[in-house]
Chains A and B, each alone.
Chain A
């Protein structure tokens, strides 16, 4: 057989050279002729009705236009699964950081200055920050619907019966906080019209094709009229899956017919993009005297914040991974995604599979301790092997090298 050219070799990253030279172009590095600059006005309240007055700001010398929901030509919404984000908040804001207006001016300095003249009147309404509170019937509603917008169930065997047969049962509640991706390149973008009159949006994004659809829908034009270009992306980790700068820039460029740029500060970046879901995990795990796992009952509550983003996929994954890589014959898992007035949460490295190990692995350690086993023994006893069946009924075929991996740990 011919020797492989690539597989098994260490290959230099194709764009590494440009990056070490400093010549790789990120959106903030783009400067175009006649380019205007935009800054975003964001809500400072978590839950309030708003009235916005942009007149004063609009009159400032050098301000080209202040965009609000009234200036969205198409649909004033976006969202990767549910269209529950507004491009600009129309009647109410649902979290600190909701975009309300976009000031476009000749220079960044003028746009920043004009910020001081935008008047936003807030009429605060009761807010909810604890997802368990939000699940209650009489809690404030973040959207015009029940705050619980997703419930995923896994049922396997008979947990109630199985718990009766267990030698030990360990019951605990685990909480993990929100986490920010903190990718190093804050959001930025440029939009302009090309020779054919199409809107071109250059932004660091994980989903140019998705963005194209969302931008087109908000502009009220065909997808073909929107081009999304992705230059160098300064880290993402899931945090660039939702819309941030794209639609604002597209609307501004289309309306003003000139290039418009925006660059978020680090602080605004924190406000603008999603977070990893905070979760509260109720775990009850039972085992036989020899350490064999018999039953798991788990309730996992994910704080989706003000918007859904990928919550369904994330909470489904949390549930699917709730047993960890361990065979358990009787399983009952309920996972929920809940709206609150917190920052919205979405994709971040692991997509829901990252939170649950905090719970299931600690359960394993506590069970081991109660049974007088070592952490390694209890894991070897229960870990997935070739042919194991997961709680959702998937039979693991092919290569499942977990046992070897745990064996390796013995020497530490």
Chain B
């Protein structure tokens, strides 16, 4: 197997790695770096459990080859700070059940709120439309994102 050298910045840390040429970004994160918060639910771009932020945009890490990520900045769920309002809102609003979709959902929500602190319900639903959740029925996730937006704007979240 031929290896390819890549440089990536993941969660603020620079890595210089030798990767197999057909390795997917998700495999790099999980198998090599043990950043297992990124989940694989389908491997075909359908579920969003593998969502990471790459170059400021959410992508499915199952549909990016590791070598394509050369020179890019990546944020995974492990890169979200400890006391993040989105994460806390997810906990408090009951938006977490089995949790398998949660890392991807949190990152999709972050990507929305990074651009738009006052999203409408429709915008929230659109922003998480690439992330499937089989447990919650989405409503609590939507309220968690609303609450997080409000808190980030400086409200009390209620």
Contact = CB atoms under 8 A, between A and B. Distances in A.
Contact of B100 (A17, A185, A263): A185
B61 interface: no
A184 interface: yes
B29 to A, nearest CB: 11
A31 B32 CA distance: 10
Interface string B36-49: 11111111101101
Contacts of B38: 22
B43 A19 contact: no
B91 interface: yes
A388 to B, nearest CB: 31
A81 B1 CA distance: 48
Interface in B84-135: 87-88, 90-92, 94, 96-103, 106, 132-135
Nearest to A183: B134
Range, interface on chain A: 20 to 34
B18 interface: no
Contacts of A266: 41-44, 46-47
Contacts of A405: none
A13 B87 contact: no
B34 interface: yes
B94 A13 contact: yes
Interface in A174-207: 181-186
A409 interface: no
B78 interface: yes
Contacts of A24: 99
Interface majority SS (helix, strand, loop, mixed), chain A: loop
Interface in B1-58: 30-31, 34-44, 46-47, 49
Interface majority SS (helix, strand, loop, mixed), chain B: loop
A20 interface: yes
B91 A29 contact: no
B77 interface: yes
Contact of A184 (B30, B34, B43, B134): B134
A10 B94 contact: yes
Contacts of B47: 184, 266
B36 A22 contact: yes
A22 B34 contact: no
B60 interface: no
A208 interface: no
A162 interface: no
B92 A21 contact: no
B102 A19 contact: yes
Contacts of A263: 40
B98 A20 contact: no
A219 interface: no
B135 A12 contact: no
Contacts of A183: 98, 100, 134
Contacts of B88: 20
Contacts of B96: 13, 16, 19-20
A186 B91 contact: no
Given A12-B92, A232-B99, A266-B44, A20 B87 contact: yes
A234 B100 contact: yes
Contacts of B30: 29
B91 A22 contact: no
Contacts of A181: 134
A186 B41 contact: yes
A184 B91 contact: no
Nearest to B42: A266
Contacts of A21: 37, 77-78, 80, 87
A26 interface: yes
Contacts of B103: 20, 22
Nearest to A265: B43
A20 B77 CA distance: 8
A184 B49 contact: yes
Contacts of A232: 98-100
Contacts of A15: 99
A28 B135 CA distance: 19
A87 to B, nearest CB: 26
A7 to B, nearest CB: 16
Given A184-B134, A235-B134, A29 B99 contact: no
Contacts of A265: 43
Nearest to A15: B99
Given A20-B88, A184-B134, 4 more contacts: A24-B99, A183-B134, A184-B39, A266-B44
- What are the nearest 4 A-B pairs in CB distance? A22-B37, A19-B99, A234-B100, A22-B77
18 contacts: A13-B96, A13-B97, A20-B90, A20-B99, A21-B80, A22-B35, A22-B77, A184-B39, A184-B47, A184-B100, A184-B101, A184-B133, A185-B98, A186-B40, A232-B99, A234-B100, A235-B97, A265-B43
